[in-house]
Amino acid sequence: MATVLICVLSAKGHTGPARPVAEALVRAGHTVHVLTGPEYHGEFAAVGARTATLPAGADLGGGPSPEREALRGTRLARFDLTAFVTRMGPQLAALDEVLAAHPIDVVLCDPLFMAGLPLTMRRHRPPVLVLGFLPLTVPLPGLAPPRTLADRARAVATRVMMPRVLGPVQATATAEVRALTGRAPEVLFLDWPLGSDGVLQMTCPGFEVPRARPMPVEFVGPLSTSGTDRHGLPPWWSDVDGARAVVLVTQGSVAKNDLGDLVLPALAALADRDVLVVVSTGGAALPGDRLPANARAAETLPYDELLPRCALMVTNGGYGGVNHALRHGVPLVCVGATEDKAAVAERVRWSGAGVGLARRRVSARTAGKAITRVMDDPRYRARARELAREMAACPGTDGVVAAVERAAGRHGHR
């Protein structure tokens, strides 16, 4: 049996897909250590994993930052990426403590756990597999092949903007890596998975764009679950009775500070339609007077119960949530521009499973047009169902366990 270390940052979108991986490995008889923030130790301990603490200086920031809230565009992107890069040293120190204390056979790494970069540069190290719960943009920019004039314009704009956004951050990353390893990295900091032993991508091939540079990728399908054991049914659940089409609207659990970005415009666009609108607020406050008569809201919802009843999901583009919808054959309207959201919107558009808009905020008119387009054209639903069948054929956590066992076997023969 193998001893596995999972390194994951403290956020629901990161720990959510890592938890079933830990559970499956423990169930298969392997010893699992999880390096993450203390607020998530209980979740991993509950499935039989051992936990180690990722210190605050090595983890994600603890709540909204006034400095960050004032930023937009390239300055916001640079701020976020710099924050990830400057945590590299403390992360590596925490990781090395676990490696020194336990005979680790395989490391499973969050793609934004930047200590993965100096770790993969080491000559003597255990195999490193990347948990692919973010869009596979490696190598950057990871764009879909252009099909239209608009696609070509987006590609040109991306290539022009990349040096402006990434240049200063790459300089910081290079300095960090030199300090930790004595040499400069050979890849962009976000492309560090190129030096890993493989990526376990949590989607199906039909939802990921072709890559310009081959690398070992195994598509295991979405792994996150969201049932009534974790999220109870709301008191209005009986309204989800099939009498009307159900539209799920959410800005996720992170980008929830201003529901005017997407939730409120979508509610306004849907207020006069013969549908039931279900809003997952992620904990954000939604005033009752902003909730139309045809809408219901809850902080969290059991998506595995709700999504099979949905005709459409309107989302800001969290990769896990979008793949959760597609697993159930639900087409999408995806609106997002921060973090990885633009890349997710591009994949929604490219795959044919919905409308993807790479912008931070929409008007009610724009939201309404996108919703009408997806709900009135059966091709979006048909394509979402094709992807659902493709995801069902993926190996899931069994594929993750098999990949870990293969990697551990190779490590044992070194």
For the chain, give every domain's residue range.
3-221+394-412, 237-392
What is the fold of 3-221+394-412?
Rossmann fold (3.40.50)
Question: Cβ(353)–Cβ(380) under 8 Å?
Answer: yes
Q: Whose CA is closest to 309, among 250, 379, 248? A: 248
**SS3 label, residue 143:** coil
What integer best gives the mean pLDDT of the chain? 92
What is residue 168's DSSP assignment? H
Amino acid present at 151: D
Categorize the per-residue pLDDT at 60 as very low, low, confident or very high, splitting at 50, 70 and 90: confident
Q: Higher model confidence: residue 230 or residue 369?
A: 369
3-221+394-412 and 237-392 in the same fold: yes
Q: What is the mean pLDDT of residues 389-394?
A: 98
Q: Return phi, psi of residue 97, to 5°.
A: -60, -40
Residue 176 pLDDT: 97
Q: Is the model's pLDDT at 256 over the cut of 60? A: no
**Does this model's pTM top 0.85?**
yes
- The CATH number of domain 237-392, selected from 3.40.640.10, 3.50.50.60, 3.40.50.2000, 3.40.50.880: 3.40.50.2000
Q: Higher model confidence: residue 70 or residue 392?
A: 392
Amino acid present at 152: R
Q: What is the mean pLDDT of residues 397-401?
A: 98
Residue 162 pLDDT: 76
Q: Whose CA is closest to 214, among 235, 193, 230? A: 193
Using omega within 30 degrees of 0 as the cis cutoff, is the peptide bond preceding 163 cis?
no
- Poorest-confidence range of 101-110, 169-178, 189-198, 207-216? 207-216
Residue 30 pLDDT: 98
Q: Residue 374 to residues 138, 311, 355: CA-CA distances in angstroms?
A: 29, 10, 7
Categorize the per-residue pLDDT at 254 as very low, low, confident or very high, splitting at 50, 70 and 90: low
Query: Radius of gyration over alpha carbons of the chain, in Å?
Result: 21
Residue 340 pLDDT: 87
Categorize the per-residue pLDDT at 411 as very low, low, confident or very high, splitting at 50, 70 and 90: low
Categorize the per-residue pLDDT at 64 as very low, low, confident or very high, splitting at 50, 70 and 90: low
Categorize the per-residue pLDDT at 77 as very low, low, confident or very high, splitting at 50, 70 and 90: confident
Q: Is the model's pLDDT at 362 over the cut of 80? A: yes
Residue 79 pLDDT: 87
